[in-house]
Amino acid sequence: MEEMIKQLAVCIESGKINKNSGYPPQMKGQDGADEITKQALESGIKPSEILGGCMEGMQRVGERFGRNEVFVPELLMAAKAMNTVMAHLKPYFQTGEVKRRGVFVIGTVAGDLHDIGKKLVAMVVEGNGWEVIDLGVDVSPEKFVEAVGQKPGCAVGLSALLTTTMVNMEKIVKSIKDKYPQTKIFVGGAPVTSNFAKQIGADGYAPDPQGAVQLLNLLAS
């Protein structure tokens, strides 16, 4: 059983979705995350242990991404493999047998339509055991505040790719903090810096998806 969990972690790290997927080439024809998750559940392995193995795989690929050993395509494939596992585990989340680490609300700020970086963060964070509420792009302060009201105790991630729209982060941070002052808000995106995060009253800055995971896991610890 332990070997099965290790194999699953390797599939996640490598982006091996299922037996029919041709990626990565060196694992062609081998069982992927889909088949191994089914086998693990049928063998009586606890869903929480399966999730733990997946999170280990996501952490490894996230760390490699941070070291520039792999890039966005590889990270996306890992996230897709993780999503395959999550589809099998969803019923166990709904029954409460598997607990989420917390809730993360994320969106690209008002005026900004860029989606790829935000989606990547959402996928990696979900793969690390968080429930993710993705509000999409061009999200107004009011919509963020509404989402926080619906998910008490959640953390919030704001994304922006343009210098012209990153200024809207400050308005959103203020709107959320005015009504829900205990909410932790993290910001990220190409033009964003840690100094800017401090200036606008955000609780942290993440330069990449793994950075966001690390900030969130500190909250959950």
pLDDT in tens, 24-58: 999 999 999 999 999 999 999 999 999 999 999 99
Q: How far apart are CA 96 and CA 184, in angstroms?
A: 25
- The predicted structure's pLDDT at residue 94: 83
User: Dihedral angle at the C-alpha atoms of 123, 147, 175, 168, nearest 10 degrees?
Assistant: 40
Q: How far apart are CA 127 and CA 216, in angstroms?
A: 13
**111-137 average pLDDT score:** 92
Identify the residue with better confidence: 16 or 209.
16
- The predicted structure's pLDDT at residue 66: 84
Give the number of other CB atoms < 10 A from CB of residue 43. 9
Cβ burial of 42 (10 Å; 0-12, 13-18, 19+) is exposed
The mean of the pLDDT values for the chain is 94
Q: Is the pLDDT of residue 96 over 90?
A: no
DSSP run (H or E) holding 204: strand 204-205
Categorise residue 139: left if φ over 0, alpha if ψ from -120 to 50, beta otherwise: beta
Q: How far apart are CA 51 and CA 37, in angstroms?
A: 10
pLDDT in tens, 157-211: 999 999 999 999 999 999 999 999 999 999 999 999 999 999 999 999 999 998 9
The answer to whether the beta carbons of residues 210 and 63 sit under 8 Å apart is yes
- Vertex 40 angle, CA 35 and 46, to 5°: 140
Give percent above pLDDT 70 in the chain: 100
DSSP code of 26?
G
* Strand partners of residue 133: 105
Ordered by where they begin, the domains of the chain are 2-95 (1.10.1240.10), 103-220 (3.40.50.280)
Amino acid at 15: G
